[in-house]
With several copies, the nearest count.
Chain A
Amino acid sequence: MSSQNSHERTLTYVAALREAVAQEMERDPRVFVMGLDVDDHKAIQGSTRGLLERFGPERVFGTPLSEDAMTGVAIGAAMAGLRPIHVHIRMDFLLLCMNQLVNVAAKAHYMYGGHVKVPLVVRSMIGRSWGQGAQHSQGLHGLFMHIPGLKVVAPSNAYDAKGSLIAAIRDDNPVIFVEHRQLYPTEAAVPEAPYVIELGQARRCRSGDDVTLVGISQMLRECLVAAELLREIGIAAEVIDPVSLVPLDMATIRTSARRTGRVVVVDNSWTSAGAGAEITAQLAESETGLRLKRLGYAPTPCPTTPSLEAAFYPDPASIAEAAHALLRPGKAWRPDPRHAKLAARQALPPF
């Protein structure tokens, strides 16, 4: 991403995930992939395609519907020195794994005095799309940010997806790896050779002096479009992707906030006691005088019908509106929705 040129290969997010895993499995025989349906013909929307054929059923296997035990199994295998990648097609299903993830994976290294490690990657997808509804579309990374001992990564583009997944696999700690269904088809320049995106380094995706937009996971893309809309009315937005939420690179966000004085944090989840709250609170603790605003899901379960679902999520128009409100508190402004859609098409692909 940093040094794109026309000769570089582009890859979709889903292909980048697949390539990261395949390369790591090639490099390290201890890495293996397990999870419901990782070995069927749909292959978790393609993200595990080809792994079974290449690495065999001992290293790529589907599981019974037993998320709780399977998480424990992954933890036990990790303690024994293997490096499991446990895949869930929906992040919502991690709610069945909380005991193992929070009471065991997160605490084992500490609680056992450093005598065991849990090099576990938990891949899961935020399922937003087509009426997935309340139980199939949740972004729950905020829950995991609350718990010491877990790392949390949520890349927004194919380049970071590959590099941060490789970093997660090589990490000796449990890493909650957050994907977003709507990111799967997006493309970016992705080097073929394996590379590591260090966890804990935010990325400045666009610079500007008037307001900082921090976008988590797929909301980064919405922020980029919002920045375009803001540019049209003369507001220069800086856009930052935290990439990893634990560890969290507050220095980069803080530097930007100090310059712009205004920050909108846009999360792919609820705002209350979530990632947005954490970033906002950290800013507020270290700086005074900032104008701060969080956006996220409406404070409701996710409805299925599109007439309500559209209002459930932040979008470029609502992000731009919130940013504008920080800058010009008196004057209400909201981009025309049709124009906002158009801008989205122009601003985004290829990433």
Chain B
Amino acid sequence: MMASVSLEERQRIYRAMQRIRRVEEEVARLYPGDHIKSPVHLSIGQEAVAVGICDPLRAEDIVSITYRGHAAYLAKGGSLPAFMAELYGKDTGSAGGKGGSMHLIDIAHGILGASAVVGTNIPVAAGYALALKREGGGRIVVCFLGDGATEEGVFSESLNFAALKRLPILFVCENNGYAIHAPTSRRWASDELCARVSTYGIPATLLAEGDVLAIRAAAASAYATMRQGGGPAFLECRTYRWREHVGPNEDYDAGYRSRAELEAWQARDQIARLGAALDGRDRDRIDAAIAAEIAAAVAFAEQSPFPGREQLTSDVFAE
């Protein structure tokens, strides 16, 4: 797969994944300092999905993200300073400090607001796709969702509607094997998710390896069909959350999963893999730029003011 991807593309993909990883590591580092004012659900380990999916998107396309949405937010081009300021609860945050980590949004970059209620974003994304279909300009929506979200009835309802109306939407299930601490084996009667989705007439593909280039290729091919009115598509991307469900730490001592599981996924870490294939100096240059960008974003967040009291009652209703 790697051979067919240009050097420039490989650099871009490496950069995108590494940037997410480094941002989240920084969030984890800062977290105990109580500057970050809301619960954080880190994607460390899952970056390949967000990047593989978002890399072939156009700027005017839309992504709908979850409370575990840092990766997709950044991959789609969401503002890093606004992100960091939002985590800090600042007036300059993406939601003016009212949303926090679980409610990231960046409409200018096509990122719909994240919801903290699992599955809730799925029909909303479908509704956005309905509007884009009427618009007729070939724009599409990507809807991220977790493996747990597929258990919510609204997932099935949304699939049926999207297929019925042939909406331009790609559903991406980030299957990290767990909902909080419960493995899929204790929540799913079977793992035939793709087979189930395809009974709606939605092409469904399982990507079991976490390979960023394979994900990207599958996404790109789905988009091409969708832009021509091909209707919805579905990708199940197996992946792995390296940290605890919520918060900055690891939790392999909790007993619900083993470090061996982590190690298997770390062995195919896409950042390491793509990084290793780059020229060392190129990689260092990229890494240094990322570090500088993150430092600037943190400084921006730190220096921004908190929203004033009068903001409490603003924006309840749109005028």
- Hey, which bits of chain A sit against chain B, CB under 8 A? 36-37, 40-42, 58, 62-82, 84, 92-93, 95-96, 99-100, 103-104, 108-119, 130-136, 148-149, 151, 172-173, 298-301, 303-308, 311-312
Q: A64-B157, A172-B319 are in contact. Are A303 and B97 (CB under 8 A)?
A: yes
Partner of A37, one of B100, B130, B182, B255: B182
Would you give 28 A-B contacts (Cβ < 8 Å), ordered by A?
A: A37-B182, A63-B187, A65-B149, A66-B154, A66-B160, A76-B127, A76-B130, A80-B131, A82-B130, A92-B117, A95-B117, A103-B120, A113-B105, A118-B318, A131-B100, A133-B98, A149-B317, A299-B316, A303-B98, A303-B311, A304-B97, A305-B98, A307-B89, A307-B308, A308-B98, A308-B311, A308-B312, A311-B309
Q: Whole-angstrom distance between the alpha carbons of A172 and B318 in the complex? A: 6
Q: Is the CB of B116 within 8 A of A133?
A: yes
Are B316 and A301 interface neighbours, CB within 8 A?
Answer: yes
- Contact A103 B113, beta carbon cutoff 8 Å: no
Decide if A64 touches B188 in the complex (CB within 8 Å): yes
Question: A92: which B residues are within 8 A, CB to CB?
Answer: 117
- Asked if B96 CB lies within 8 Å of chain A CBs, one says yes
Contact of A114 among B134, B306, B318 (CB under 8 A): B318
A111 interface neighbour in B95, B132, B312, Cβ under 8 Å: B95
Q: How far is B42's CA from A94's CA once the two chains are assembled, in angstroms?
A: 26
Pairwise interchain contact A104-B317, C-beta atoms closer than 8 A: no
Check B128–A133 contact: CB distance below 8 A. no
A311 touches B312 (CB 8 A): yes
Contact with A along B109-153 (1 / 0, CB 8 A): 000110111111011111111111010000000000000110111
Contact: A69 with B123, CB < 8 Å?
Answer: yes
A306 touching B153 by the CB < 8 A rule? no
On whether the beta carbons of A300 and B312 are closer than 8 Å, the reply is yes
Interface residue B260 (Cβ < 8 Å from any Cβ of A): no
Given contacts A74-B127, A300-B313, 12 further A-B contacts (CB under 8 A): A64-B157, A65-B179, A66-B151, A68-B123, A73-B124, A73-B130, A96-B117, A112-B95, A112-B103, A113-B93, A117-B318, A133-B116
Given A58-B134, A305-B98, is A79 in contact with B124 using a C-beta cutoff of 8 Å?
A: yes
Q: A304-B99, A305-B306 are in contact. Are A298 and B312 (CB under 8 A)?
A: yes
- Known contacts: A65-B118, A133-B116, A305-B98. The answer to whether A76 contacts B125 by CB under 8 A is yes
| B180, A72: Cβ atoms closer than 8 Å | no
Q: Are B117 and A73 in contact (CB under 8 A)?
A: no
Q: Are B127 and A73 in contact (CB under 8 A)?
A: yes
> Given A66-B160, A113-B95, A77 and B89 touching (CB < 8 A)?
no
The 5 closest A-B pairs by CB, nearest first: A76-B127, A72-B123, A131-B38, A305-B89, A80-B131
B256 contacts which chain A residues (CB < 8 A)? 40-41
Q: Would A73 and B113 count as touching, CB distance under 8 A?
A: no
Also in contact, A148 and B316, with CB within 8 A (given A40-B181, A111-B95): yes
With beta carbons under 8 angstroms apart, the residue of B129, B149, B154 that contacts A69 is B154
B105-A71 in contact (CB<8A)? no
> Which residues on the B side are within 8 Å of A103 (C-beta)?
115, 117, 120
Contact B123 A111 (CB under 8 A): no
B254 contacts chain A at the CB level, 8 A cutoff? yes
